[in-house]
Structure 1
Amino acid sequence: MQAPQSPQRPGQPNQAAPGFWRRMAAVIYDSLLLLAVLFLATTVALPFNAGEAFSADQVIYPLYLVAVSFVFYGWFWTHGGQTLGLRSWKMRLVDRHDNRAVGWRQALLRYLAAVLSWLCLGMGFVWILIDKKNLAWHDYLSGTRLILTEKKDS
């Protein structure tokens, strides 16, 4: 069974959308890298808290980690469209309408929509399994999509 194909535009190759499991593999890969980045960000922040652990009533620390997470994903998405996980699993993030690079506004929309997708018990990601175009909620809400970067033998 072949993956659904995106509509072909003049002058552009027809590129298939990756499926659910490939996306989840990239999510796991990127989560491990993000965890390391968050550990580093915590190390940088600790001196500002007198070297003490952050308490549950300190709101700035979680907001700081959310901002670091956005910058992590946003930078990769706006600079080549590939996180390390996306590159490893041969995918790239592009604008859904013209296959161009994603800007910071779209990156922010995608990040916030992906958080929403996870907060709804991952239903935004599971949506890929029933969507004819293999798009998740955050793809629709941000006007982006993932494409496969490898060439298939037909």
Structure 2
Amino acid sequence: MSKLSKKPRRPATSPTPEQTVIARPGVRVVAIVYDGMLILALLFLVGTVLTVVGTLLTMESGSTSDQAQSLPAWYQNLVLTPAFLLTLIGFYGIFWRRGGQTLGMQTWRLKTVNASGHYLTWPQSIKRILGACVVPILCGAIGYLMHGTRGAILASAILGMVFNYLFCLLNRRGLAVHDMISNTITLKVPKVKHEGLLESFRNRKSAKKS
């Protein structure tokens, strides 16, 4: 029996000139802020559930409520941290694989594809997410070495994330650091036809009222 050939992934974009426009860093940052609120809510939910579970599993008999509020380091490092990372990968991976767009990217008409114009695979999604963490982690490590406080680490990591997109201004193709690492690209897609008709109708309606 011959082996079934693997079905190729369908192209994510049509070969039109508008869809070859690379998204500008400003609108990409705005989309990330939009998605960031959703991710924070999701991480809060995951963290709350795992904290309750961890408290029940690690709380010894006779422990006070104050002692029960602090989870052991092994639980935080081996359960909470991987769970947060998997939540982040799952959020972006599912959206990028299915339509190339997260909810924030849909709002600003952005789409992420690979170099061949197809939706990202799981390995490509993971590589892109980890690639976006390289500079923030390095900056966070520098902040720790310089000051050794959580505030310094957080501020340095945020500066590293901002640098990912400021790099778009230096790169002649307009690519961010994680675009280059993962060989992917984020495009600004044109409005669909019905959106243009709706906008035209609104403009005519407002002109009549005036």
Range class of TM-score, shorter chain: 0.7 to 0.9
SS at match of 2:87: helix
Which consecutive segments of 4 or more residues in structure 1 shift more than 6 A? none
**Aligned counterpart in structure 2 of residue 133 of structure 1, from 173, 192, 206:** 173
Per the TM alignment, residue 56 of structure 1 is displaced from its structure 2 partner at its CA by: 7.2
Distance in 1 of aligned mates of 2:37 and 2:180? 26
CA contact (8 A) 1:128 1:135 kept: yes
TM-score, length basis structure 1: 0.83
The aligned counterpart of 1:81 is 100
Distance in 1 of aligned mates of 2:45 and 2:111? 26
| Structure with the higher fraction of residues in helix conformation | 2
- C-alpha spacing 1:69/1:131, structure 2 compared with 1 (3 Å): same
CA contact (8 A) 2:21 2:188 kept: yes
CA contact (8 A) 2:131 2:178 kept: yes
Cα deviation, 1:57-89, whole Å, max 9, x if unaligned, reads 221212211111111111111111111111111
Which protein is bigger by CA-based radius of gyration?
A: 2
**Aligned counterpart in structure 1 of residue 119 of structure 2, from 96, 101, 104:** 101
Matched, 1:16 2:21: yes
SS at match of 1:139: helix
Structure 2 stretches of 5 or more lacking a match?
1-13, 57-67, 140-159, 197-210
The aligned counterpart of 1:4 is none
TM-score, length basis structure 2: 0.62
RMSD of Structure 2 on Structure 1 (CA): 2.1
- C-alpha spacing 1:132/1:54, structure 2 compared with 1 (3 Å): farther
Distance in 2 of aligned mates of 1:115 and 1:18? 20
Count of residue pairs the alignment pairs up: 142
Deviates more, 1:86-95 or 1:50-59: 50-59
